[in-house]
Copies of this chain bind each other. A is one copy, B any other.
Amino acid sequence: MVYFDNAATSFPKPEIVYDSIMTAMKEYGANPGRSGHKMALKLSRGIYDTREMMSKLFNVSNPMNVIMTFNATEGLNIGLKGILKAGDHVITTSMEHNSVLRPLRYLKKFGIEHTIVQADNMGRINPIDIKKAIKSNTKLIMSTHISNLTGTIMPIGEIGKIAKDHGILYMVDGSQSAGVYDIDIQKLNIDLLAFPGHKGLLGPQGTGALCIREGIELESYIQGGTGSASHSLDQPDILPDKFESGTENGPGIIGLGAGIKYILDRGMDNIRQHEENLTKHFIDEASKIDGIKMYGPLNIKEQAAVVALNIKDADSSEVSYILDQEYDIAVRPGLHCAPLAHETIGTLDQGAVRFSFGAFNTHEEIDYCIKALKDIAKEV
* A255 to B: closest C-beta gap in Å: 9
Alpha-carbon gap, A129 to B335, bound state (A): 53
Within 8 A of B (CB), among A20-59: 21-22, 25-26, 29-31, 34-40
Q: Which residues of B contact A29 (CB under 8 A)?
A: 9, 11-13, 204-205
A233 interface residue, CB < 8 Å from B?
yes
Q: Which of B39, B205, B226, B323 contacts A248 (CB 8 A)?
A: B205
Which candidate, A161-169, A279-287, A325-333, is the interface stretch facing chain B? A325-333
Within 8 A of B (CB), among A229-275: 230-235, 245-252
Asked, given contacts A12-B26, A26-B18, whether A74 binds B335 with beta carbons under 8 Å apart, the answer is no
Number of A positions contacting B (CB below 8 A) = 83
Q: Which residues of B contact A11 (CB under 8 A)?
A: 29-30, 39
Kindly report which residue of chain B lies nearest to residue A1, judged by CB atoms. Answer: B39
Q: Which of B3, B103, B226, B321 contacts A224 (CB 8 A)?
A: B103
A324 interface residue, CB < 8 Å from B?
yes
User: Do residues A223 and B5 form an inter-chain contact, with CB atoms below 8 A?
Assistant: no
User: Do residues B248 and A73 form an inter-chain contact, with CB atoms below 8 A?
Assistant: no
User: Do residues A106 and B223 form an inter-chain contact, with CB atoms below 8 A?
Assistant: yes
User: Do residues A330 and B99 form an inter-chain contact, with CB atoms below 8 A?
Assistant: no
Q: Which of B98, B204, B333 contacts A25 (CB 8 A)?
A: B204
A380 interface residue, CB < 8 Å from B?
no
User: Do residues B206 and A105 form an inter-chain contact, with CB atoms below 8 A?
Assistant: no
A8 interface residue, CB < 8 Å from B?
yes
Q: Which residues of B contact A145 (CB under 8 A)?
A: none
Asked, given contacts A205-B249, A206-B249, whether A317 binds B36 with beta carbons under 8 Å apart, the answer is yes
Q: Which residues of B contact A224 (CB under 8 A)?
A: 73, 76-77, 97-99, 102-103, 337
User: Do residues B222 and A73 form an inter-chain contact, with CB atoms below 8 A?
Assistant: yes
- The main secondary structure of chain A at its interface with chain B is loop
Q: Which of A99, A198, A206, A324 has the most CB of B within 10 A?
A: A206
User: Do residues A37 and B204 form an inter-chain contact, with CB atoms below 8 A?
Assistant: no
User: Do residues B37 and A105 form an inter-chain contact, with CB atoms below 8 A?
Assistant: no
Alpha-carbon gap, A41 to B338, bound state (A): 21
13 A-B contact pairs sorted by A residue (CB < 8 Å): A1-B39, A9-B29, A12-B26, A12-B29, A31-B205, A72-B246, A77-B223, A98-B230, A98-B233, A102-B224, A105-B233, A206-B206, A232-B339
Q: What residues make up the interface of A, taking CB atoms closer than 8 Å to B?
A: 1, 3, 5, 8-9, 11-13, 18, 21-22, 25-26, 29-31, 34-40, 70-74, 76-77, 97-99, 101-103, 105-106, 196, 198, 204-207, 220, 222-227, 230-235, 245-252, 317, 320-321, 323-324, 330-340, 342, 348
Inter-chain pairs besides A31-B205, A102-B233, A105-B233, 15 sampled, C-beta below 8 Å: A3-B39, A8-B40, A9-B31, A9-B247, A21-B21, A37-B330, A71-B246, A76-B224, A98-B224, A103-B223, A196-B246, A204-B252, A206-B249, A206-B252, A232-B339
